[in-house]
Amino acid sequence: MDRARVVVVGSANMDLVAKATTLPQAGETVLGGEFVTVAGGKGANQAIAAVRAGAATSLLGAIGSDAFGVTLKARIDAAGVDTGLLRVVYGASGVALITVDAAGENTIVVTPGANGAFTDLTGPELAAIASADVLVAQLEIPVETVTAAARAAREAGTRVVLNAAPARALPAELLDAVDLLVVNQTEALAISGESRPEPLLASVPRAVQTLGAEGAWYVDRSGTSVRVPGVRVETVDSTAAGDAFTGALAVAWAEGREIVEAVGWACAAGAACARRLGASTALPNRAEIDELWSVSRGPGPGA
């Protein structure tokens, strides 16, 4: 079977990650421990997650002309993502400042940098979207660009998975082009005014609300409403668990997996990611996902 083809339209950031016993409160300084710099951004993370889950994956986005941009491209390339259409724009790359506590919880501040300059789509970028099985997008780039990408995918028959993060109200034009919406409780509230998934079906045909360690809740307009249990692991860092989930979900769906089972496999991917420190460096490969999935439920896609 040919590899599934996934195109990710989204952000690329350099993540500056510090571990501390507790997260600082307003006005407080805490003494940290381990510090790492990691290629991140929800777009880059989900592209790397999709590659490691088994798909041929391209990233459409923008990095800066600074040293962070050089490092970002090198690390995303090394992960196996096609960066042939990744733009370099003059100025600073996106940066995320991340603090992780002893329980694996985190706080994150993102400065968009070059991501904010990704304001249109070129002919080659539109062609890449049209040739994909699934388009994956998030909201760390201008929403107008996300909307244009989703509309182009819809016109070409490419499925659209939107991870509506960070939380914000979304234009109807974008939601009309979405096939599968992925949100957490906060993001669901921002879109529908309610912190559960069913009201989202007024805007999209399918939705998944992630529930952290508890798994995920899938709903669709056919009347399906399924709570998919999570996979229990010892959490080290939850920073990119949601990105691992979204990337794996897109791959399993692109490969033709039944959607509820795809959600379960994606839960295993999120759990596997949470066992390690970092963002892109923590994203699991297909064998790791299959192993956790097999232990908890049975064989995963292609196992």
**Residues assigned a catalytic role:** 243
Ligand-binding annotation for 211, yes or no, is yes
Ligand-binding annotation for 267, yes or no, is no
- 228/212 Cα distance (integer angstroms): 11
Ligand-binding annotation for 64, yes or no, is no
- 200/209 Cα distance (integer angstroms): 10
CA 121 to chain centroid = 20
DSSP one-letter code for 82: B
Ligand-binding annotation for 237, yes or no, is yes
- 292/201 Cα distance (integer angstroms): 30
Ligand-binding annotation for 271, yes or no, is no
Ligand-binding annotation for 198, yes or no, is no
Ligand-binding annotation for 14, yes or no, is yes
Ligand-binding annotation for 212, yes or no, is yes
Ligand-binding annotation for 45, yes or no, is yes
Ligand-binding annotation for 276, yes or no, is yes
Amino acid at 56: A
Instruction: State the Cα torsion 241-275-58-291 to the nearest 10°.
Output: -110
Ligand-binding annotation for 32, yes or no, is no
Do 196 and 218 contact (CB within 8 A), yes or no?
Answer: no
Ligand-binding annotation for 42, yes or no, is yes
Find all residues with CB under 8 Å of 188, minimum gap 6, and list them. 194, 195, 196, 197, 199, 200, 207, 209
Sequence-ordered alpha helix ranges (H) in the chain: 42-53, 67-78, 123-131, 143-156, 172-175, 185-192, 241-254, 259-273, 286-296
Binding-site residue set for K(+): 237, 239, 273, 276, 278
Binding-site residue set for substrate: 13-15, 41-45, 140, 243
Binding-site residue set: 13-15, 41-45, 140, 184, 210-215, 237, 239, 242-243, 273, 276, 278
Binding-site residue set for ATP: 184, 210-215, 242-243
